[in-house]
Amino acid sequence: MTAAKEPSFRDSVDLMFNRAVALMDLEPGLEEKIRVCNATYTVRFGVRLRGQIHTFTGYRSVHSEHMEPVKGGIRFAMGVNQDEVEALAALMTYKCALVEAPFGGSKGGLRIDPRQWDEHELERITRRFAYELIKRDLINPSQNVPAPDMGTSEREMAWIADQYKRMNTTDINARACVTGKPINAGGIQGRTEATGRGVQYALQEFFRHPEDVKLANLSGKLDGKRVVIQGLGNVGYHAAKFLSEEDGCIITAIVEHDGALINEKGLNIEEVRNWIGKHAGVKGFPDAEYVPEGAKVLEKECDILIPAAMEGVTNITNAANINASLIIEAANGPVTAGADQILREKGCVIIPDMFANAGGVTVSYFEWVKNLSHIRFGRMGRRQEESRHQLVVDELERLSGDKNLGWTLSPDFKQRYLRGAGELELVRSGLDDTMRAAYQSMRDVWHGRDEVTDLRTAAYLVSIGKVAASYRALGL
């Protein structure tokens, strides 16, 4: 996908990092300490399947341990390699710092095409990979906590959690060894949707600032904005669903691995998702024009482009043709350093990955805290909150009756006001707060320093500043 002259993913991340640190006044040596990846473990292991031994290659990279545990997803894909996991681990460090999740950065991957294996085979492979990482403390509640990424979901996280528990039978915090688990295996409400939900909150916050919207040559609110999205997996599906169903965005194109769908009137996300579920691709979906060469559709004119599939899809070969005013990087590294420059020169505003897709790690942080505290959020306070609200409603109704004021509370208001916050409401509230605060911190730098002309540099400046402060506090 990436053109020959393009730097590797890892180099691309470093180039963006270097652009930001050139504007900072870091002491000699600290800059390099933050940039480099601390360690990358490569494992090759065999599993007997279908009558023969198959050897798999996996990685777990730890970028920075200025805070522990370190955190980052595990990816199952054929393209997984050391350069990629190191780039993704570095992005995790900056992402966690930006959204104030108290973790260092890590990432893992297994070179496998999950579609080639049955569920029980995948379970054996996943458990074996987890075993290799657990015995080296590369999965551990206090040292290294994975989560889902491309090609993995709550199913794999449940297998990993169970594998850890089997190997650490007396660890009372065993469930905190991995996040993104199903609810019945120690997960948290709202984790599956979290990254897509975070993309929605990020866009909502961006559109709260008319000056920022104007810089992207747009105006008004999210309602009616034409969106092209690439990848209808976990992140892309949830982002597209919430933006179209709740914010009035029109999804004019969906780019998937086997081609793209176009419908200027807007695609129904649930219907496309169901179609993909049944047909393993978008081809043949009624009610849309099908374009076999999906990548070309990234160049389609739109207000907002959401790459939500993989890295490097907008690179020096196609950046000049991109016709979007605003790009929000739901995937990690979808815009290469070279493309970033071309797009900036064109006046395109890019909401960077380390912020845009931080919803996942934010809610993973809540899940980890839930696992360590062994209690669901809202369990102690919800009913107490409801009874206090009931007191207010009763008093208002009494006053209205006593004084013959003639007004009543609307049933809708009463119902909404009386309901105490459960876990899902609290998770969404915490996520929204996190995305707003992180955006503000980037925005202050973006608008506050003349030499900072883009949100990515602003994001790097904020996060590198925080990581540097942690290292200084450690006496480095």
Binding span for ligand NAD by CB under 6 A among 149-157, 384-392, 404-412, 433-441: 149-157
Size of the site for ligand NAD (CB under 6 A): 24
Rounded least distance, CB 74 to ligand NAD, Å: 10
Cβ–Cβ < 8 Å for 123, 161: no
Residue number, nearest CB to ligand NAD? 233
Output phi, psi for 412, to 5 deg: -65, -45
Q: Is the peptide bond before 7 cis (omega within 30 degrees of 0)?
A: no
User: How wide is the angle at C-alpha 137 spanned by C-alphas 136 and 142, nearest 5°?
Assistant: 175
Rounded least distance, CB 353 to ligand NAD, Å: 7
Nearer Cβ to ligand NAD (75/443): 75
Q: From CA 30, how far away is CA 418, in angstroms rounded?
A: 52
Burial of 391 (0-12, 13-18, 19+ CB in 10 A): exposed
Rounded least distance, CB 301 to ligand NAD, Å: 19
**Residue window 217-246: x/- pattern of binding to ligand NAD, with contact defined by CB under 6 A:** -------------xxxxxxx----------
Binding span for ligand NAD by CB under 6 A among 11-19, 214-222, 254-262, 394-402: 254-262
Tell me if 257 contacts ligand NAD by CB under 6 A: yes
Cβ–Cβ < 8 Å for 324, 14: no
Catalytic residue among 107, 225, 241, 466: 107
Q: From CA 69, how far away is CA 164, in angstroms rounded?
A: 16
Name 12's Cβ contacts closer than 8 Å, sequence gap at least 6: 6, 87, 312, 333, 336, 337, 338
Nearer Cβ to ligand NAD (71/382): 71
Rounded least distance, CB 99 to ligand NAD, Å: 11
Q: Count CB-CB contacts under 10 A for residue 8.
A: 16
| Residues found in the chain | 476
Nearest Cα to Cα of residue 264 among 242, 281, 288, 285: 288
Binding span for ligand NAD by CB under 6 A among 49-57, 147-155, 451-459, 468-476: 147-155
The footprint of ligand NAD on residues 265-304 (CB under 6 A) is 294
Cα-to-chain-centroid distance, residue 316: 24
214 is a catalytic site residue: no
Concatenated DSSP letters for 335-384?
Answer: B-HHHHHHHHHTT-EEE-HHHHTTHHHHHHHHHHHHHHHTS-TTTTTHHH
Rounded least distance, CB 77 to ligand NAD, Å: 8
Task: Find where tokens 């815009």 sit.
Answer: 335
Contact with ligand NAD (CB under 6 A): which of 215, 243, 322, 331?
A: 331
Tell me if 332 contacts ligand NAD by CB under 6 A: yes
**Residue window 345-384: x/- pattern of binding to ligand NAD, with contact defined by CB under 6 A:** ------------x--x------------------------
**Residue window 106-145: x/- pattern of binding to ligand NAD, with contact defined by CB under 6 A:** ----------------------------------------
Tell me if 325 contacts ligand NAD by CB under 6 A: no
Nearer Cβ to ligand NAD (178/255): 255
Q: What angle in degrees, to the nearest 10, is found between the helix axes of 359-373 and 423-448?
A: 130
Question: For residue 290, which amino acid is it?
Answer: Y
Nearer Cβ to ligand NAD (78/392): 78
Catalytic residue list: 107
List interacting residues with ligand NAD (CB under 6 A): 148-151, 195, 230-236, 255-257, 294, 308-310, 330-332, 357, 360
